[in-house]
Amino acid sequence: MLSVFETERLYICEITDKDSVALRLVLSDPEIMKYSIVGVHSDEDITKYIANCKQQYDTKGYGQWAIFSKADSAFIGICGLNSHSVEGEDLLHVSYRLSLSQQGKGFASEATSGVVDFCKVKLKRKYISALIDPNNVPSIKVATRSGFSFLKSSSIQGFKVDIYQVYF
């Protein structure tokens, strides 16, 4: 387990092939993925997802990471950074997906705050975005708890999103 950073209760680590079973439980769950632009992942999608994560680590120094509990080393979910072009601007944005059993415990907010710190300290970014389905109230709460403010509404690939940003 290669830790990228830690928070009070979490290890944030690079995703490896060993995480495929745990990833499948999160990324193939329709309830967890209902607000995702890409939707539910198949086994083949998971394999490609892991390969893409590795490529992102090598080329950009960031990507999606696995979230593990410090208390028991359990896989909690994923968080990290993606880029999307929105209205001609390439936005670096935070994303997260947690196992249903781990939601509502503050882990998403804690992981997101860690990603924000990573962007500020390691990547020397001036701001980071969060692209959220306007109906995803729990994610809006996570973003605002982590310091993000609503910027505007837009769309990505035909999906409505609200853009939130935090400036450093």
Neighbours of 63 (CB within 10 A): 20
CATH of residue 26's domain is 3.40.630.30
Output DSSP code: residue 125: -
What angle do the packed helices 43-60 and 20-27 form, to 10 degrees? 110
Task: Using a pLDDT cut of 70, give the percent of the chain over it.
Answer: 99
Assigned domain for 110 exists: yes
Task: Print the domain residue range for 74.
Answer: 3-127
Give, in degrees to the nearest 5, the angle at Cα 6 between 68 and 146: 95
| Percent of the chain with pLDDT strictly greater than 90 | 95
149-164 confidence digits (pLDDT tens): 999 999 998 899 999 9
89-126 pLDDT per residue, tens: 999 999 999 999 999 999 999 999 999 999 999 999 99
Answer whether residue 54 is part of any domain.
yes
**Does position 58 have pLDDT exceeding 80, yes or no?**
yes
Whole-model pTM: value is 0.95
Radius of gyration of the chain (CA): 15
Specify whether the CB–CB gap between 96 and 111 falls below 8 A: yes
Domain count within the chain: 1
